[in-house]
Amino acid sequence: MADVVWADWPAPPRVRAGQTLRTGGCSGAPYDGLNLAAHVGDDPDAVVRNRQILRSTLQLPAEPEWLCQVHGTGVAELPGGRPAPQADAAWTSRPGVVCAVLTADCLPVLFAAADGSVVAAAHAGWRGLAAGVLETTLAALPLPARRVHAWLGAAISQAHFEVGPEVRRAFVEDDAIAADCFVRGRGDRWFADLYGLACLRLRRMGVQSISGGGACTYRDAQRYYSHRRDGRCGRMASLIWIAGD
């Protein structure tokens, strides 16, 4: 069985969106549970079974369009071809096409047009976030950002996301207001607020409807994978699609 946190946001009912938890599934240690990533060293057969469990439990209209994520800003329009697109975001206007991103501390951001005509998913670790993956995703959509809802899935919280000065510099040099999203740690270290940084960029682009955020993948080991906490681990999937008529 696949356990999911469904998006609580004002998107229309025909838009289905949520993030899987690590619970359920058949992967063994250290991927215990519903690992959906094929690139982390898990038994390939277990990953295939987990993806089958996901599709069956959620009654997905199709296999998710898995991406080859590279912590960049590439955006793929789906349905794509094979092999999997090298991109960290994807969008579609076709009902029944499932956009998906995999995370285990990085921030997943799901998007939906207010009228349900377009959906998208983005993988925003600090590198992709600083480079502009949310901006490139919004720019790819065939509608203005003010008509888009955004939902933030679970990511590592500020209290556990210690980074070096180069990370803070990458954001503050782009926007001085981003300094408010960092708390000083020991020496030259800082604690970064991925949720705050994402919201800052979304609002700057014109997104007015932002939901979700607040969960911590690092703190909640029962529900979430965390690469920062565990090193070798599985990945959760954040999924969004337009249901057929």
Cα separation values, 163 from 81, 87, 232, Å? 36, 24, 20
What is the pLDDT at residue 2? 79
User: Where in the chain are the domains?
Assistant: 2-77+89-242
84-108 pLDDT, tens digit each: 789 999 999 999 999 999 999 999 9
206: left (phi over 0), alpha (psi -120 to 50) or beta: left
Helix ranges (DSSP H) in 65-164: 126-131, 133-140
33: left (phi over 0), alpha (psi -120 to 50) or beta: left
What is the 3-state secondary structure of 26-51?
A: CECCCCCECCCCCCCCCCHHHHHHHH
Pair of tokens at residue 229: 């906490």
> Residue 162: is its pLDDT beyond 80?
yes
173-217 pLDDT, tens digit each: 999 999 999 999 999 999 999 999 999 999 999 999 999 998 999
- DSSP class of 176: G
Single pTM value for the model: 0.96
> Residue 50: is its pLDDT beyond 80?
yes
> Residue 80: is its pLDDT beyond 80?
no
> Residue 141: is its pLDDT beyond 90?
yes
Domain 2-77+89-242 has CATH 3.40.190.10: no
8-35 pLDDT, tens digit each: 999 999 999 999 999 999 999 999 999 9
What is the pLDDT at residue 155? 98
